[in-house]
Structure 1
Amino acid sequence: MDAAVGIVAQRGNERAQELTEALVDALGFDREGDDLVVDEATGEAVDATSVPVDAMAGRDLVVSIGGDGTLLFVAREVGSTPILGVNLGEVGFLNAVSPEDAVEAVTTLVEQYRRGNPAEGRTLDRLQATCENDWTLEPALNEIVVHGPRRGHGGGATIEVRIDGERYAENHSDGVLVATPTGSTAYNLSEGGPLVHPSTDALIVTQMAAIDSMPPLVVEPDSELTLTVSDVETAYVISDGRNRRRLEPPVAVSVSLADEPVRLVGPKADFFRGLEKLE
């Protein structure tokens, strides 16, 4: 059997485009066929069939070349399609493969698919925010944030946090952040939240610049989290710093695990080595 592969290179990154070209050569697919495709932006620089990234959903493998931000983007677009991350960034908590090892890692995975032996992967939970059954925000691999009209002095809101119906905190803050273990090293960490090993089955609740704040809280992943915003005219809920919805308080936002996790394949990133690179 053959394998259907997609490659997404970090936009505007010449090194990523060169590596894409090397992978296309090494894999030996028909450049005019559709077994191997690249994203539309990369297709302008690489001689291969190009498609929108969301059209790669359902392929046997999608290769993300860039930093963790590129992989977050790819994950939003392709859902549970297996992803292998090649790291061109500084830290690389999600991208486990170095550029030097990329050709070997990708060709090995593709050969496994061709022999009918798909690579074992690991799943990463995502979060979803739902507003009183009215809408659901696109899933987040790192975090969901609920905050007032703006960050900083005079811009916060009163936010009540309930865990399984029990009140954990209610005070004025810039916002409240709910993170996955994957996202513990991102926005959560910058707001004083704890580091959580990516294999931990948990969620993290961190208040942002709260008055009389409670310590960050680690809860079971299937906990029912409700964030109720009041005392402001406008607030926002944001998924992975990208997808945003405006809120009209008073309003309650529920945060829970999304139905569809992200699936990574190939080598695992070295969590502790990544921590050494944090500033």
Structure 2
Amino acid sequence: MSEQPKIAFMASDTAIALEAQRHLSAQYGSVDPEAADIIVALGGDGFMLQTLHGTQHLDTPVYGMNCGTIGFLMNEYHEPGLMERLADAEEEVINPLKMRAISADGKVHEALAINEVSLLRAGPQAAKLRISIDGKVRLDELVCDGALVSTPAGSTAYNYSAHGPILPIGSDVLALTAMSAFRPRRWRGALLPAGAEVRFDVLQSKKRPVMADADSRSAGNVVSVEIRSEPTIRHRILFDPGHGLEERLIREQFV
């Protein structure tokens, strides 16, 4: 990386983030993302995910500065010394999940998810799901409000709220977590190899409709959903030293 990298400042549509974008662009200059050495995302975790999805074809590292609330994927917002922070930043590389969902009308929905792919009941009755791993049925019937498959990077998001495990970065595992499991009673889920392919078949889909969601990219009334890691796509995220995903994942478990 050159001593003075070309930076693309991208901001969410909040007033705080847009004001930060104006200040930083005036101080350090800003280029289009396609011409940038580093992309600086200004917003919260949701905008960070949006930025990573939107720039994945560039293979350009993204450094987030928190202008939102939680900011798990972000660094603290400070305007002074940005060049030094970027020069010292540590890089984490994560691979997304690929979702392939089929709706009742036969339409195929494909999407990538950095955090998780989730299935949620879309009606008043609990969902009934059959779960297969690498082509082998592992659970004939899960009665629940939903289920999700999470990456290590996303394990502190929706997965954690559903009482799923926090996964260390580099652990090469995925978390399969149930939401409000009724049968098997209180079934919490499973840890799976990163290379596993997970398939959900929706049972009684007309009576018990289910929707699928990959990082807020939704498909309605699905009858089956296949999920696997996509190693050919990588997201490069920059963190201040000592504040990377590995440290954050460990720290989160002792809060």
Alignment TM class, shorter chain as reference? 0.7 to 0.9
Post-superposition Cα deviations, 1:128-152, rounded to whole Å, max 9, x if no partner, equal 11136963432111110122324xx
2:179 match: 208
Pairing partner for 1:235 from 207, 210, 213: 210
1:20 partnered with 2:21: yes
1:166 match: 136
Q: What are structure 2's unaligned runs of at least 5 residues? A: none
1:9 match: 11
Contact 1:91–1:277 (CA<8 Å) still a contact in 2?
no
Post-superposition Cα deviations, 1:176-213, rounded to whole Å, max 9, x if no partner, equal 10011111111111112112223322100011112223
1:77 match: 54
1:157 match: 127
Cα distance 1:21–1:224, how it changes in 2: closer, same or farther (>3 A)?
same
Contact 1:174–1:210 (CA<8 Å) still a contact in 2?
yes
Cα distance 1:243–1:149, how it changes in 2: closer, same or farther (>3 A)?
same
Separation in structure 1 between the aligned mates of residue 23 and residue 251 of structure 2, nearest angstrom: 26
Pairing partner for 2:218 from 234, 244, 248: 244
Cα distance 1:58–1:155, how it changes in 2: closer, same or farther (>3 A)?
farther
How far the C-alpha of 1:223 sits from its partner, in A, is 0.5
SS at match of 1:19: helix
Q: How many residues align?
A: 238
Q: Which has the larger share of strand?
A: 2
SS at match of 1:271: helix
Separation in structure 1 between the aligned mates of residue 178 and residue 93 of structure 2, nearest angstrom: 27
Separation in structure 2 between the aligned mates of residue 195 and residue 266 of structure 1, nearest angstrom: 19
1:98 partnered with 2:76: yes
Separation in structure 2 between the aligned mates of residue 275 and residue 109 of structure 1, nearest angstrom: 23
Q: CA RMSD in A?
A: 2.8
How far the C-alpha of 1:104 sits from its partner, in A, is 2.0
Separation in structure 2 between the aligned mates of residue 83 and residue 204 of structure 1, nearest angstrom: 25
SS at match of 1:188: helix
Contact 2:96–2:234 (CA<8 Å) still a contact in 1?
yes
How far the C-alpha of 1:274 sits from its partner, in A, is 5.9
Pairing partner for 2:37 from 38, 60, 70: 60
Higher relative contact order (CA 8 A, sep 6+): 2
Contact 1:238–1:245 (CA<8 Å) still a contact in 2?
yes
How far the C-alpha of 1:217 sits from its partner, in A, is 0.8
Moved more, 164-173 or 203-212: 164-173
Separation in structure 2 between the aligned mates of residue 11 and residue 58 of structure 1, nearest angstrom: 22
Separation in structure 1 between the aligned mates of residue 35 and residue 199 of structure 2, nearest angstrom: 33
SS at match of 2:160: helix
SS at match of 1:145: strand
Separation in structure 2 between the aligned mates of residue 266 and residue 74 of structure 1, nearest angstrom: 16
Contact 1:147–1:157 (CA<8 Å) still a contact in 2?
yes
1:41 match: none
Separation in structure 1 between the aligned mates of residue 137 and residue 36 of structure 2, nearest angstrom: 43
1:36 partnered with 2:37: no
SS at match of 2:155: helix
Cα distance 1:266–1:185, how it changes in 2: closer, same or farther (>3 A)?
closer
TM-score w.r.t. structure 1 length? 0.74
- Sequence identity (%): 24
Pairing partner for 2:225 from 253, 267, 270: 253
Separation in structure 2 between the aligned mates of residue 272 and residue 158 of structure 1, nearest angstrom: 32
Separation in structure 2 between the aligned mates of residue 88 and residue 273 of structure 1, nearest angstrom: 23
Moved more, 185-194 or 206-215: 206-215
Separation in structure 2 between the aligned mates of residue 266 and residue 186 of structure 1, nearest angstrom: 18
Q: What are structure 1's unaligned runs of at least 5 residues? A: 30-34, 38-55, 113-117
1:89 partnered with 2:75: no
